Amino acid sequence: MFQNNNSAVIKHLSKAGLKSSKLRNRLAGAVIALAAFLLALASTFAYNAAMELQNLTHYQAVFENVDTQVIEKIRTNPDVEAYGISRRAGMAKNGDISLSLLYSDEKTMELSNVRIKTGALPEQVNQIAIEKGYLDSVNSGAQIGDDITITYRNSVNNEMQTDSFIITGFLGTGDENGMGRKVYNAVVSRAFIDSDPALSSVYPTVVIKVANADGYSNTGLKAKIKEIGQLAGLPEKSIYINDINVDSNNTTSETSAAVLAIALVVVIAAALVIYNIFYITIIGKVNEYGQLRTLGATKRQIRKIVMREGKLLSLQSIPVGILSGSGVSYLLRPSMWLAVPSLILALCVGIITFLTVMLSLRKPAKIAAGVSPMEAVLYTDFHGSSKGKKRKVKKLTPFALGRIYLTGNKKKTAVTFLSLTLSGILFITAASLLSSVDPVRRARQGFLYGGEYRIGLNRELLSPSTSYSDLQINNPLPEELKAKITAISGVDGVEIHKYIRGRLVGAIHDDETIGVDNIREKDAAELKKYLVEGNLPDTSADQILVNRGTITYEYFGLHYQPGDTITMLLYDGDTQISKKFTVSGIIDNDDSGDTLFLPDSVMDALMAQNCNQSFEILSGQGYSADVEAQLKALIASEDKLEFDSMKEQTELEGRVLHVIATAAYTLVALIACFGLVNLVNTIITNILSRKNEIGIMQAVGLSRKQLMKMLYTENAYLIFGSFIVSVFLGSVLGYYVCIAAGNVGGLSYIQYQFPIWTNAVYFLLMIILQTITTRFIGIFLQRHSVIERLREV
Amino acid sequence: MSILKTSGLKKYYKTGPNLVKALDGIDLKVEPGEFVAIVGTSGSGKSTLLHVLGGLDNPTSGNVEIDGKELSRMNDDQLTIFRRRNIGFVFQNYNLVPILNVYENIVLPIELDGEKPDKAFLDQIVGMLGLKEKLDNLPNNLSGGQQQRVAIARALATKPAILLADEPTGNLDSRTSQEVLGLLKMTSRQLHQTIVMITHNNEIAQLADRIVRIEDGRIVA
């Protein structure tokens, strides 16, 4: 066996190799660090965001109307890890801002992510703990120990009441930093509940944390919750599931897919650049490797030397990347940072980046190992047409020379071109999609009848234990309100959205509720466009219209045909009624989220309660601040109603789009850095590896201007070539992505728009890039005289 | 009238604390059609002299005049253009452009000047140097002697006022060396081409019309 211990010499040689090519190392190091940075940022941010969603609350179920016996059964159930008791006291409204008053024990507070930030929990009848944000938003400077007077609607008897409280503490909640909050919380004492005859007359609410919840599938967890409730003897209507917590129980596949896609792009982009950088340096060092081979280095040793250079670089660069990536991810949302899992993720990112480096080095290392001692003497950077050994004569202008060089080393050119194009395509595709999202169209989805304003049941109040049917009790949207709205000058009319919550008996998810929406008489023409079978429902019979284009239709596993009978349990306030309908027809409209439709008059006739959901207010004059003020004044004291306008919604959509666009462009820009590093590396090595040739050409008469023209041409082909290819492929891809996205139900607001401005900016960037690189070359070339270049052999 | 004239040519370098006098007052005249060999040992300053004569390097002081034009009065671009029109170079390591084929290498200086090659003249030198069959080849596929012949053809193609050859046979075996020197001698005769050749080899220098010896940056004989 000729096994020598030669690791010392290999270590020494690879270290020396690193020292000798400082520029390459800086570039490669930057690329490795950037890749690690992007991967760490994307993965830890996505993970922590998903976790934040899950940790918004820690309970999976809410049981309402729970008496002491039931509480005892819950307490002894081994499947219940923790439970907390709370009671709703009332709701105060101050313009747009609402304050929910409730009593809650410490366990409920813990499970709902509510805690006392400063001060103490209330104990006396007249004490309260409140969110500071509420006081700020109603311009109250009240501090702990101060008095505060609150007018609120009693949750049990629905009477308006006014009470004075002493503030004992400030609350912190899971979404205290959330933007545009409209509902805040306040906690009153048990003594307060007991002292109120109405509030003390009803049983409390219990929140449940299921033991080992992570071990269940989402559906399994829901079944377990039902079981716990039934074992405790609760009727099904008192059992509510906390969907946000349960559905994020197992991190959603969409998030993982998005992170994987980003990771894949980053890994490919980084691998291309690392490969190219090492490939180019190794070609430049063929002579050295040849010498080493002559001196007796084996192929294996040469390969080891190259791989070790990569390892050393990775060890230096990866920690920088993952630390800064995790750091930025932390800074983006410090409040939701989970240190240990993030650290583990960062570690995985380090390993993935390392493997990427090693994989992309395999080929260059093989090339280096394959150098024979003889080859070292003959090798030149150019080996494009060495097979044919002859090439047709070309006219030798500087431009032609530039082209000859580009085609001379096809591989190097192709890799640089590819990595520039890759980021370009990403950029244009992202731009196409982003510019195709129309905030007005998106906002219009909430104003289907062409209205300017909307007054509706307050969606902020919806919770696991409060649904639309609860809000419809003593419906705050009566005819009188409609009449008052119509009387406002500037209002042309009011369209009513009606809604009934119900359950489909016998469907797959028959324990979950589904909504029934109204059909106005004038909707008939529009609905007929989507009719695929049967007819629109007849108002005189119990007929229902079904939309098979929705996700809900699939989720409930529905397969209806005209003539089929549907049995529904409809919620009428807090009572339920069973009703049979005949399917009159099927429509297919994937833009509407609504699955079941009944005519207006049928809905009114069925329900004892008023089933209005919202008033959409039409105004031919467009938005008017005056009309908005009058509408807001009408509902100022009604906590169960919210106001919304097309203008506000459009602005909101615009802001959301802006945030998404900023994030997307930042990501693309970072990925584009890979392409840039590749370009810089190619340009520099184009000069470095050809110092001698450039010297020869200058000696035989290539002027500085001509030399610049030649190098300029090479760069221009790369930069503008990749621009043209990127714009073309990116636009085609962007077009199809938009078409595909627009066809997804509910996303019809995505209408393909050619991103003309983004393309213009991209073009401008390329011109700047070309100018900078050319200047850079000029400066670089001044550093050496012709004779110095000629000596470089 | 001399085709090449230098007066008081000096080239000093500073390497660390030492001042190196590579050229220390060179006065040299070369007549049209003359074949001059400059001989010296390694480090005598002969390569520096050639570089300064060819305008590749600037002298510390003194003048170089070629065909009546003083090189020191030209800026970088003027010098480049003057060089490609009036001076032909032949280097020890051939210095061909590897991505260009033989023909392209030969016509490179002419085409860089935006001129059309003189076809008849090209045919003459390509024939003289025995390169007719090799015009499409890339330099990598040629032997050393062939590569040097391409370099000579390139140097002659612009009909330069003067051809500067730096150890043109330094990388060649003795038989090929003789052949290349013979070709140089022949072009000097047939084309009345002025040639200044640098060598450390006295035997090779014997082929020239005149030998100039250089030691420590000065002409000694």
What is the mean predicted confidence (pLDDT) over A481-498?
A: 91
Closest CB to A700 among B76, B109, B140 = B109
Q: Minimal CA–CA distance to B27: which of B61, B54, B57, B1? A: B61
Contacts (Cβ under 8 Å, ≥6 apart) of A360: A270, A271, A272, A274, A275, A278
Nearest CA in chain A to B113: A701
Residue at token pair 């009803």:
A202
Domain positions in chain B:
4-96+160-219
Q: Which region among A208-212, A407-411, A421-425, B148-152 has the lowest average model confidence (pLDDT)?
A: A407-411
Note whether B83 contacts A699, CB cutoff 8 Å.
Answer: yes
SS3 A591: coil
Note whether A787 contacts B76, CB cutoff 8 Å.
Answer: no
Residue at token pair 């007719």:
B132
pLDDT at A377: 53
Residues in A closer than 8 angstroms to B93, CB to CB, are 793
Residue A129 in this model has a pLDDT that exceeds 90: yes
Residue A741 in this model has a pLDDT that exceeds 60: yes
List Cα–Cα distances, B185 to A35, A123, B212, in angstroms: 62, 116, 17
Q: Phi and psi dihedrals of B91, rounded to 5?
A: -105, 160
The H or E element spanning position B217 is none
d(CA B215, CA B49): 12
Nearest CA in chain A to B50: A787
Q: Please give the DSSP secondary-structure letter assigned to residue A215.
A: G
Contacts (Cβ under 8 Å, ≥6 apart) of A276: A412, A415, A416, A419, A678, A681, A682
Residues in A closer than 8 angstroms to B146, CB to CB, are none
ipTM score of the complex? 0.76
Would you tell me how many other CB atoms lie within 10 Å of the CB of residue B105? 27
pLDDT at A180: 64
Q: Is A577 exposed, middle or buried (0-12, 13-18, 19+ CB in 10 A)?
A: middle
Q: Are A380 and B140 in contact (CB under 8 A)?
A: yes
pLDDT at A775: 82
Q: Please give the DSSP secondary-structure letter assigned to residue B73.
A: G
One-letter amino acid at B92 equals Q
Q: Which CATH class is domain B4-96+160-219?
A: alpha beta
One-letter amino acid at A382 equals F
What is the mean predicted confidence (pLDDT) over A549-572?
A: 87
Contacts (Cβ under 8 Å, ≥6 apart) of A130: A99, A148, A167, A170, A171, A184, A185, A186, A187
Residues in A closer than 8 angstroms to B164, CB to CB, are none
Nearest CA in chain A to B155: A700
pLDDT-derived band at A1 (thresholds 50, 70, 90) equals: very low
Nearest 10 degrees: CA dihedral of A16, A18, A21, A26?
A: -160
d(CA A115, CA A368): 63
Residue at token pair 């004038």:
A522
d(CA A608, CA A74): 35
3-state secondary structure A766-792: HHHHHHHHHHHHHHHHHCCCHHHHHHC
pLDDT at B65: 92
Q: Minimal CA–CA distance to A248: which of A525, A475, A47? A: A47
Per-residue pLDDT tens over the stretch A106-118:
888 888 888 888 8
Q: Are A166 and A147 in contact (CB under 8 A)?
A: yes
Residues in A closer than 8 angstroms to B113, CB to CB, are 701
Provide, rounded to the nearest whole percent, the portion of chain A with pLDDT above 90.
15
Residue A162 in this model has a pLDDT that exceeds 80: yes
Question: B69 to chain A, minimum CA–CA distance in Å?
Answer: 17
pLDDT at A5: 62
CB hemisphere CA count around A107 (13 angstroms):
14
Would you tell me how many other CB atoms lie within 10 Å of the CB of residue A69? 10
Note whether B91 contacts A395, CB cutoff 8 Å.
Answer: no
SS3 A77: coil
Closest CB to A395 among B111, B135, B154 = B111
pLDDT-derived band at A236 (thresholds 50, 70, 90) equals: confident
Per-residue pLDDT tens over the stretch A451-476:
899 999 988 777 767 788 888 888 88
**Mutating which of A391, A696, A708, A791 best tests the B interface, going by the most B Cβ atoms within 10 A?**
A696
pLDDT at A617: 93
SS3 A751: coil
**Range among A781-785, B25-29, B90-94 with highest mean pLDDT value:** B25-29
Residues in A closer than 8 angstroms to B52, CB to CB, are none
Nearest CA in chain B to A790: B95
Residues in A closer than 8 angstroms to B96, CB to CB, are 696
Q: Minimal CA–CA distance to A302: which of A277, A317, A285? A: A285
pLDDT-derived band at B213 (thresholds 50, 70, 90) equals: very high
Note whether B99 contacts A386, CB cutoff 8 Å.
Answer: no
**Mutating which of B49, B86, B95 best tests the A interface, going by the most A Cβ atoms within 10 A?**
B95
Note whether A701 contacts B76, CB cutoff 8 Å.
Answer: no
Q: Are B97 and A692 in contact (CB under 8 A)?
A: no
Q: Are strands A97-104 and A183-188 parallel, antiparallel or unpaired?
A: parallel
Question: A393 to chain B, minimum CA–CA distance in Å?
Answer: 7
Note whether A396 contacts B56, CB cutoff 8 Å.
Answer: no
Q: Please give the DSSP secondary-structure letter assigned to residue A547.
A: E
Note whether A696 contacts B95, CB cutoff 8 Å.
Answer: yes
Closest CB to A390 among B91, B107, B136 = B136
Q: Are A620 and A492 in contact (CB under 8 A)?
A: yes
Question: Given CA atoms B95, B101, B107, B109 in this order, what sign does their dihedral have?
Answer: negative
Q: Are strands B61-66 and B4-15 parallel, antiparallel or unpaired?
A: antiparallel
Contacts (Cβ under 8 Å, ≥6 apart) of A720: A766, A770
Across chain A, what does the average pLDDT equal?
A: 83
pLDDT-derived band at A20 (thresholds 50, 70, 90) equals: low
Residue A369 in this model has a pLDDT that exceeds 80: yes
**Range among A177-186, A369-378, A724-733 with highest mean pLDDT value:** A724-733
What is the mean predicted confidence (pLDDT) over A346-374?
A: 85
Nearest CA in chain B to A403: B99
Note whether A701 contacts B112, CB cutoff 8 Å.
Answer: yes
Question: B40 to chain A, minimum CA–CA distance in Å?
Answer: 19
Q: Please give the DSSP secondary-structure letter assigned to residue B116.
A: P
Residues in A closer than 8 angstroms to B77, CB to CB, are 703-705
Residue at token pair 């809650």:
A104
- Select the more confidently predicted residue: A394 or A561: A561
Q: Which region among A176-190, A296-310, A700-714, B134-148 has the lowest average model confidence (pLDDT)?
A: A176-190
Nearest CA in chain B to A408: B99
- Number of A/B CB contacts below 8 angstroms equals 98
Nearest CA in chain B to A693: B97
Nearest 10 degrees: CA dihedral of B161, B167, B168, B171?
A: -160
Domain positions in chain A:
1-55+257-379, 61-241, 381-450+643-793, 453-618
Question: A408 to chain B, minimum CA–CA distance in Å?
Answer: 7
Label residues A24-41 b or e (16+ Cβ within 10 Å = b): bbebbbbbbbbbbbbbbb
Question: A442 to chain B, minimum CA–CA distance in Å?
Answer: 58
d(CA A577, CA A572): 7
SS3 A470: helix
Residues in B closer than 8 angstroms to A699, CB to CB, are 54, 56, 83, 89, 95
Question: Given CA atoms A75, A79, A85, A89 in this order, what sign does their dihedral have?
Answer: negative
Question: Given CA atoms A56, A62, A67, A73 in this order, what sign does their dihedral have?
Answer: negative
Closest CB to A396 among B51, B85, B108 = B108
Residues in B closer than 8 angstroms to A701, CB to CB, are 80-81, 83-85, 108-109, 112-113, 158
Question: B5 to chain A, minimum CA–CA distance in Å?
Answer: 21
**Integer Rg of chain A from CA:** 35
d(CA A357, CA A374): 30
Residue A383 in this model has a pLDDT that exceeds 50: no
